[in-house]
């Protein structure tokens, strides 16, 4: 049984029975059979149906927001994810014609030579619980628009999300076999991948999860897109707007209880600004209200599961035992379970787990640095490479620094944002692949060359 344990009170909020292996193979076969007719529909029709599905999700938002609070703990005051969900899907719809256009090399009396983009067939999307709608739509929308059938497997923590999306898209007119929400255990998922059931697999989750996907796909030549762990750094240069940097970086570290793929987990500050930055950071975090996410006054909800909070508590305790300073006294609402005090640490080193391993919780370590060279070295001293955030008034300086940072994205004077016009990608243990933008369409299709001799 797949169970969602609500972080609000530890109760079972939802449970679903996973498909048997036989039933799962049958579902995929139905998707494969339906895909050709879907791909044969005009591109404009597919775009319109996806847009209508997205709008239907928006119409459900009043119900979705409290569901998310129950499933993964995000406070209702933030209104859910539909803004980003719609932004990403709409952008991918807008660029579809250009991104999927034929590349005509020659169309003369003698030859027609052209490269077309054709769908992979059936795309498996394995989505995470932390931003369950936005992460799923990153692939679902362009995959459907490109002519693929989609099988969505959502995280056990957020089982209602896939059901909501399927309901919305089916009501819009996307055939049920073309977009399927399924409940699968890990073994069945791996068996399906190993059996070449899918033309492409997109996975967002942990490093071990990504490794399991690659092992399952080994030897099948199935394309696998992976967005895995992160330990994203921020760097506050000596000319930074200190107030803006503190506000944005600390929000990037703490929003969603720190459970953001590109959340800030390490901050490096120019020595001259270090004490002032820490003072501002502590003041910001001290003002948070930890509590029940259904309470509109709550600004910081519980972590999605007590075991996630335990990981963060362990990292903080180890760091303090090794000489770090914890600046935030334990909140009264900290129950030793999913409700966790947000924490700012100084006196940290890269020898501590909290500065090396993914925390995925409301904690950030802050270190002073002497110059750009030291900051770059510290930012690159990580197994992960998703995003980095650089704070300076000098765009040329930021770009010079960015050229030397080993990440998929570098921000200047912002953080924790996914721009659908840019490729969402990573390096090192963060994985490989690229979502959204024109490149997202390229990854969800394959090039097919036509060499037609007319005479």
- Residues annotated catalytic, as ranges: 227, 261
Instruction: Tell me the β-bridge partners of 116.
Output: 448
H runs (alpha helix) in 195-266: 207-217, 242-254
Instruction: Tell me the β-bridge partners of 179.
Output: 150
**d(Cα 387, Cα 407) in Å, to the nearest integer?**
5
Q: Is 47 helix (H, G, I), strand (E, B) or coil?
A: helix
Q: Which residues contact 198 (CB under 8 A, 6 or more apart)?
A: 28, 120, 121, 122, 123, 124, 151, 192, 222
- In contact, 299 and 285? CB cutoff 8 Å: no
**d(Cα 350, Cα 361) in Å, to the nearest integer?**
18
Q: Is 387 helix (H, G, I), strand (E, B) or coil?
A: strand
Q: Which of 320, 432, 426 is nearest to 382 (CA)?
A: 426
Q: Which residues contact 108 (CB under 8 A, 6 or more apart)?
A: 454
């Amino acid at each position: 049984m797949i169970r969602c344990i609500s972080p609000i009170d530890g109760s079972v909020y939802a449970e679903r029975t996973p498909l048997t292996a036989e039933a799962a193979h049958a579902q995929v076969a139905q998707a494969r059979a339906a895909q050709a007719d879907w791909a044969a529909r005009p591109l404009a029709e597919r775009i319109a149906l996806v847009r209508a599905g997205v709008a239907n999700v928006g119409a459900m938002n009043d119900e979705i927001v409290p569901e998310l609070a129950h499933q993964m703990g995000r406070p209702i005051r933030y209104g859910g994810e539909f803004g980003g969900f719609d932004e990403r899907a709409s952008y991918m719809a807008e660029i579809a014609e250009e991104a999927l256009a034929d590349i005509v090399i020659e169309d003369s009396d003698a030859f027609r030579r052209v490269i077309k983009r054709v769908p992979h067939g059936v795309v498996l999307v394995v989505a995470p619980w932390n931003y369950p709608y936005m992460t799923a739509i990153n692939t679902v929308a362009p995959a459907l628009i490109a002519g693929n059938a989609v099988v969505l497997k959502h995280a056990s923590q957020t089982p209602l999300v896939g059901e909501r999306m399927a309901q919305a898209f089916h009501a819009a007119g996307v055939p049920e076999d073309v977009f399927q929400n399924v409940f699968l255990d890990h073994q069945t998922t791996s068996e399906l991948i190993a059996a070449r059931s899918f033309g492409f697999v997109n996975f967002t989750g942990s490093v071990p999860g990504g490794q399991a996907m690659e092992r399952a796909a080994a030897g099948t030549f199935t394309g696998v897109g992976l967005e895995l762990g992160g330990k994203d750094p921020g760097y506050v240069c000596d000319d930074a707007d200190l107030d803006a940097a503190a506000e944005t970086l600390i929000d990037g570290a703490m929003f969603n209880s720190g459970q953001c793929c590109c959340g800030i987990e390490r901050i490096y500050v120019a020595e001259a600004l270090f004490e002032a930055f820490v003072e501002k950071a502590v003041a910001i975090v001290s003002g948070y209200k930890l509590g029940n996410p259904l309470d509109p006054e709550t600004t910081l909800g519980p972590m999605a599961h007590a075991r996630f909070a335990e990981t963060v508590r362990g990292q903080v305790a180890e760091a303090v035992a090794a000489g770090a300073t914890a600046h935030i006294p334990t909140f009264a609402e900290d129950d030793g379970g999913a409700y966790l005090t947000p924490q700012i640490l100084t006196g940290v080193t890269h020898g501590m787990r909290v500065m090396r391993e993914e925390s995925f919780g409301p904690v950030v370590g802050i270190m002073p640095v002497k110059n750009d060279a030291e900051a770059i070295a510290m930012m690159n001293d990580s197994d992960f490479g998703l995003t980095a955030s650089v704070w300076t008034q000098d765009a040329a300086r930021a770009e010079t620094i960015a050229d030397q940072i080993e990440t998929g994205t570098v921000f200047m004077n912002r953080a924790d944002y996914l721009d659908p016009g840019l490729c969402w990608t990573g390096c090192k243990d963060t994985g490989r692949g690229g979502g959204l933008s024109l490149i997202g369409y390229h990854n969800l299709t394959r090039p097919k060359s036509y060499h037609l001799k007319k005479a």
